[in-house]
Amino acid sequence: MKKLFSSESERLGARARLRELIREHSLRFGSFTLASGATSHFYLDLRRTTTHPEGAHLVGLLLLDRLESDWPDAAGGPTLGADPMAGALAVLSHVHGQPLPTFIVRAGTKDHGMQQQIEGHLESGWRAVLMDDVITRGGSLVRAVKALREREVTVDRALAILDRQAGGEEILGREGVALEALFRLSDILSPEEQAPR
């Protein structure tokens, strides 16, 4: 694979720039119900960052950087959060000389066409890394873990852009899946911004 970053300062610069894009495009304050059912006075819609040209590029680079030392056979995750991440990862892995197949996991099996729950490139016996944009309680990733294991795919690692630090890491750990996140909530929001209003 071609070198992703020429130095540690370049890697840190890419992460800092991605943080800026997340705050600019994805962070909203108000009253929100999360996918987990919890309520929050802020919302991080990371699709606003992962579908932004620069944001997609930075997410792809930083995810590839995390995968480089422990390369899987494929990477993917639950629709809709992982969709743009999978696209960015597939393209950038090809550009950098080590193509990585990607896939998307539906919430359930579709009732038409090939009637598949997993779309894309994934084979029995492969080792896959799961990914999602935001982890709160980890429910969508746990469902994806079960779908992959039913296909006899090994999964013991998950990557996220943001861990909201709301128990998802522990829940995934009970499934035998280690979570790594590019950012924790405390990296994005100050304590004052996180405090209930």
Give the DSSP per-residue string, 152-180: T-EEEEEEEEEE-SSSHHHHHHHTT-EEE
Q: What percent of the chain has pLDDT over 70?
A: 96
Which pLDDT value is given to residue 111? 59
* Least confident interval from 91-100, 113-122, 125-134, 138-147: 113-122
Q: Is the pLDDT of residue 196 over 90?
A: no
What predicted TM-score, i.e. pTM, was given to this entire model?
0.93
Which 3 state secondary structure label does DSSP give 67? helix
pLDDT at 134 over 80: yes
Q: How far apart (Å, rounded) are the C-alpha atoms in residues 104 and 48? A: 19
Better pLDDT: 109 or 94:
94
Q: Is 74 contained in some domain?
A: yes
Average pLDDT over residues 33-52: 91
pLDDT at 109: 63
Q: Take residue 17 and report the two structure tokens written for it.
A: 């720039």
Is 33 contained in some domain?
no
Structural domain range at position 156: 59-194
* 60 band by pLDDT with thresholds 50, 70 and 90: very high
CA distances from 26 to 21, 60, 62, 133, 140 (A): 8, 17, 18, 11, 20
Q: What is the CATH number of the domain that holds 66?
A: 3.40.50.2020
Q: Quickly state the pLDDT bin for 38 (edges 50, 70, 90).
A: confident
Picking from 71, 84, 44, the residue whose alpha carbon sits closest to that of residue 157 is 71
Instruction: Count the neighbouring beta carbons within 10 Å of the beta carbon of residue 176.
Output: 12
Residue 172 in domain: yes
- State both tokens at 182: 């590019």
- Residue 159 confidence (pLDDT): 98
Answer whether residue 110 shows pLDDT above 60: no
- Using 50, 70 and 90 to split pLDDT, how confident is the model at 157? very high
**Is 20 within the bounds of a domain?**
no
Q: Tell me whether residue 54 is in a domain.
A: no
Q: Look at residues 131, 97, 75, 72 and name the one whose alpha carbon lies nearest to residue 4.
A: 97
Rounded Cα distance between 172 and 36, Å, is 14
CA distance linking residue 11 with residue 76, whole number of Å: 23
pLDDT for res 114: 57
Q: Which residues lie across from 118 on neighbouring strands?
A: 105
Using the predicted structure, report yes or no on whether residue 87 has a pLDDT greater than 70: yes
CA 20 from chain centre, in angstroms, equals 18
Overall number of domains in the chain = 1
- Domain contains 51: no
Q: Is the pLDDT of residue 170 over 90?
A: yes
Q: Is residue 108 part of a domain?
A: yes
